[in-house]
Amino acid sequence: MITLLAISLVTLLITYVIMTLATILAKKTISDREKNSPYECGFDPKGSARLPFSLRFFLIAVIFLIFDVEITLILPVASTLNLTNIFSWMSTSLIFLLILLLGLYYEWSQGALEWS
């Protein structure tokens, strides 16, 4: 037990020393405007690179991603019809689809699917 504790402490100490050395050695002291600006094919940037992002668009994108993943979960259901009991297949499929439809209805009722 003491050996395991000693090995763990030595490993943590070595890791800490390496991370500290890497941080000190990798520090860039030269900072100029060109290296801190976003790259636009050698031209001066026309505007700020930190433009505000539409949270509405982000919400729509996340909802799309969630439903897209759920569709990939639905696709194998049809191929397992011959391998399982019809009752268990039907009940599992219906429960999964019901959960999806309830989630869609909730998003719709909260107004998350309206673009404007």
Q: Residues 10-59: pLDDT tens digits?
A: 999 999 999 999 888 887 666 666 666 666 666 665 666 667 777 888 88
For the purposes of burial, counting CB atoms within 10 Å of the CB of 98, is it exposed (0-12), middle (13-18) or buried (19 or more)? exposed
Report the predicted TM-score, pTM, of the whole model to 2 decimal places.
0.49
Please check whether residue 104 lies inside any domain of the structure: yes
Please check whether residue 115 lies inside any domain of the structure: no
> What's the number of domains the chain is made of?
1
Please check whether residue 66 lies inside any domain of the structure: yes
Please check whether residue 8 lies inside any domain of the structure: no
Please check whether residue 33 lies inside any domain of the structure: no
The overall average pLDDT reported for the chain is: 82
Q: Are 89 and 81 in contact (CB under 8 A)?
A: yes
pLDDT of residue 40: 61
Per the structure, the complete domain to which residue 72 belongs is given by 55-109
Q: Are 112 and 59 in contact (CB under 8 A)?
A: yes
Please check whether residue 68 lies inside any domain of the structure: yes
CB neighbours (10 Å) of residue 90?
Answer: 12
